[in-house]
Amino acid sequence: PTNSKWGFFPSASVAWRVSEEPWMKWSEEWLDNAKIRLSAGSMGNGNVSPYSYTSEMTVSTADDIVLGGSYPSYTSVGSTVPVSLTWEKSTTYDVGLDLDFFNNRLSVSGDYYRRYTTDMYTASVALPAVYGTGSPKGNNAEMKTDGWELSLSWRDSFKLGGKPFDYSIKAMVWDSKSVITKYVNDTGSLGTVKGFIENGGSPSSYYVGMTVGEIWGYTVAGLFRDQADIDSSAIHDFVQASDKVTRPGQVKIADLDGNGFIDPGNFAVDDHGDLRIIGNQSPRYRYGVNLSARWNGIGLSVFLQGVGARDWYPGSDAGMFWGKYGRPFFALIPSIHNYTDDMYSAERNNWDTAYWPRMTTYQSNGTKNWTRLLEIPNTRYIQSAAYLRVKNIQLDYSFPKHICSAIRLQGLKIYVNAENLFTFTPLHKYAPNFDPEGLSYDSDFASAADGYTYPILKSVTVGVNITF
């Protein structure tokens, strides 16, 4: 709107080099730099659909009415507009510290920040169905993010075989957590049953106090041992097999609220039955390590990258994980499920050692999204998507100057470069065909939660650099 077309987003920073103070002379032999940084600034985001502030009446052409020998045009009730529409604003406060030691061989840098995101463009109060149109989005939510970053580097050189050996190591780690501080959800709803399950256990509606990325689900107490175990456990009505009989070897869910039934309550923050927060799909403790060395024309560089903590619950169409547990027409994948050793069988009665439960048909009470037990997020089948990846390795050799001059070149270097060579992750124990870096819960790429993304490929390149 005209009254919100322009925004003012200032920023400022100040730094104090403590190492330059006269009273720091005592440390000058080993401390080269000590600097404290403070900054504050805001940024605006106006990336919303154009003309969202005005009511639109779409003109269409009828295809089932003829007037005067032609199809007439018609329009309908205009869309509802938000009460106000302005820039979403993100304001960040940061404090940082930079330290350099031992003639700048050792460097340490750290930051802690807090970001307030206000006037977020989200859904508004739900309108009654008789109103005739949905509620428009507007500046209705706020979020707080706390985060930190830390980097540590060491670089040095020494003589090896009479020639300089140069090397460096740099490690970085960073993390952040976002919490919703304002949202239009007075009832604290976690979403409908269908919406909750389709979102992989993520609430389909945000609520105040929610940590972004949290996964709600059930706590699994193992597999049913025998009929006596079934009879003494809470009633699992919603997970019974197609013949309405619960059998040994099926998943047993813990009755955390003690009411004798396994249920989700009203899917609300204040009434969630046996549901609990069982994980978080946001990547935490991300890190990277750079290693490099050079000696006698030989160079080696290695880049490691990874995520320290992240949870993933396989989506309903993750056929390469669930196999026939998810759909009868999904492939039987012994290399993934290891049915021989890890699947429950009545003959072996391995309820205490099997990872996969008894193979059954579709669960039957309700819609298909609610009835397949394993698709309901739970502590047994949630997967860790933490990983360490050898992102890049390069080995090169630069020929000496006298050799280059002899063949009339200024420089000649040969190299071998490898990308995504190795990946170490607990995810591959039960989901070896999934890449932890490619998993996503972005609403625009929902299929990525099921592993339907183009794989991150390994590649090896051999090359020559020639300078004339």
pLDDT in tens, 442-461: 544 455 567 777 778 899 99
| C-alpha separations of 230 from 223, 343, 350, 374, 375 in Å | 10, 19, 16, 18, 21
User: Which of these, 337, 283, 339, 279, lies nearest to 309 by C-alpha position?
Assistant: 283
For β-strands 387-398 and 459-467, DSSP reports them as: unpaired
Sequence spans of domains, the chain: 1-56+73-135
Indicate the pLDDT class of residue 371, thresholds 50, 70 and 90.
very low
Query: Which residue stretches of 28-146 are H helix?
Result: none
pTM over 0.75: yes
State residue 448's pLDDT score: 59
pLDDT in tens, 383-420: 999 999 999 999 999 999 889 888 888 899 999 999 99
pLDDT above 70: percentage of residues in the chain: 89
Indicate the pLDDT class of residue 240, thresholds 50, 70 and 90.
very low
pLDDT in tens, 272-316: 999 999 999 999 999 999 999 999 999 999 999 999 999 998 877
Indicate the pLDDT class of residue 243, thresholds 50, 70 and 90.
very low
How far apart are alpha carbons 293 and 302 in whole angstroms?
9
State residue 370's pLDDT score: 33
| C-alpha separations of 383 from 264, 308, 334, 335, 387 in Å | 22, 13, 19, 18, 12
